[in-house]
Amino acid sequence: MKQYFISTFGCQMNVYDSGRLAGLLAAKGWSPAGGNDKADFIFLNTCSIREKAAQKVISRLKGLKPLKKRNPDLIIGVGGCLAEQEGREFLGKVPFLSLITGPGRLAEIPEILETLDPRGPAVILTGQTPDSESAPEPCPAGGSAASALSSFITVMEGCDNFCAYCVVPYLRGREKSRPLKDILSEAESLISGGCREITLLGQNVNSYAPDGLDSKKGPAFVRLLKELDSYKELWRLRFTTSHPKDFPPELIGLFGDLRTLAPHLHLPLQSGSDRILKAMGRRYDRAGYLKTVTALRRAEPDLALSTDIIVGFPGEDERDLEMTLEMLAQVRFDSIYSFMYSDRPQTKAALMPGKVAETEKARRLGQVQNLQKAVTLEINESYAGRTVEVLVAGPGREKGQMSGRTGSLKTVNFPGSPDLCGRLVPVRIESGWTASLLGQLVS
Ligand code: 5AD
Ligand code: SF4
């Protein structure tokens, strides 16, 4: 039996896509290899969001050269955003690649492998297939995610927003939503396989708009969440990512209202400065963002928030950074993902004046992260004494411990036995740290 090994870089959508590919390969008789050295087909599902992410992929690929040299019949392929961005150019950096496929062409891989000559020229598939303008295909039944307690489902892909710094719209194309019935049937098959927590994925899930769904009945995404909420065996529902400019009151109202909707939201702020938000093309300002946060917390007082922050966007000065720090202090996010701005090909920001030096970006990043670390720690410490519901996912940090997540997405470690795995259990928190909480099972 032929064996494959997939490495995934970047976002959750790549994780989902890698699972889909694994399912498609399994359907063609492939089995998973334990590592690169056992595989007949090595696939790297890549990311290009920042230059560092791209560099990491290239250096990982270069490290595969000895394997290919030893075994010329080995097939090494790349997919995902960097493959889409580079296309044929990829061969200039990594000449021993056999396959280069953009995210829109993933489903074609198993068939291509049947005829691909690992010693011959590379097969390059980028852009969308002629008939895939509609929607990404569902995960095949029996895909690798089918028995997981927590699973992802892609509901839409692509982005129409063209934020000035972001390469995604050029690589993942325009927004395409999957039909409601396909998503529901994928959810049903996951749930019947034991899945209890579903995270809906898309670059901008709030603008979910499948063909043929009447928009007069309210936002399609609200309808999708309500439909999923009706599955009795589903315990938790999450979604990511949302754009702050598209948060209709109907969606805000679902927090605290839907049984399954977990009290956590990732809402990328990017910057606290109105001037920079405008230059980024984000189409909201501080006041608008704060208004949405206030309304969300009114709907769900326990809502945990996370966000993305970019420091050193072209033209950002000390005052802009102050405004970002001020927003972090005011909103008090549970956690943040913070990045140094990085030029990406084709984007508007790459051509903007006022580039910030790398050392200065690093200094600003340090300031942002230090402030956030303190806020995260304060929030996590405040959990002490509270009893939370934990979905137990596996062994904990230390021997004899189990670990899981709260609805608010905090990792909790507690003494417990493996038979708790897959259960929702009450845990009384004793202490909070920057990255996790520690507690005792309530019997
Ligand atoms: N430079 C730095 N960070 C970026 N992001 C997207 N593009 C860039 C870039 N060019 C960040 C944004 C986005 C997250 C996924 O990655 O914060 O929300
Ligand atoms: Fe990129 Fe902006 Fe689209 Fe998010 S909303 S994927 S940051 S262009």
| Cα(204) to centroid(ligand 2), Å | 8
Looking only at the bridges linking them, the beta strands covering 387-395 and 150-154 are unpaired
From the CA of 267, the nearest ligand is 1
Is the model's pLDDT at 377 over the cut of 60? yes
Ligand 2 centroid to residue 131 C-alpha, Å: 24
Distant-in-sequence, close-in-space partners of 182: CB < 8 Å, separation ≥ 6: 135, 138
* 309 in Cβ contact with 339 (< 8 Å): yes
If you take atom 12 of ligand 1, which residue's CA is the nearest one?
308
CA of 388 to the centre of ligand 2 (A): 33
Strand partners, 389: 426
Residue of the nearest CA to atom 13 in ligand 1? 308
Q: How confident is the model at residue 217 (pLDDT cuts 50, 70, 90)?
A: confident
Q: Which residues line ligand 1 (CB under 6 A)?
A: 49-50, 165-166, 268, 270, 308, 310, 339, 341-342, 344
Residue 137's pLDDT is: 55
Q: What is the pLDDT of residues 396-427, one digit of tens each?
A: 999 999 999 999 999 999 999 999 999 999 99
Residue closest by Cα to atom 1 of ligand 2 = 166
CA distances from 302 to 255, 263, 289 (A): 10, 6, 18
pLDDT at 147: 54
Q: Is 168 in the pocket of ligand 2 (CB under 6 A)?
A: yes
Q: How far apart are CA 174 and CA 306, in angstroms?
A: 26
Q: What is the pLDDT of residues 162-208, one digit of tens each?
A: 999 999 999 999 999 999 999 999 999 999 999 999 999 999 999 99
Nearest-atom number in ligand 1 for the CA of 270 is 17
Structure tokens at 55: 């560099």
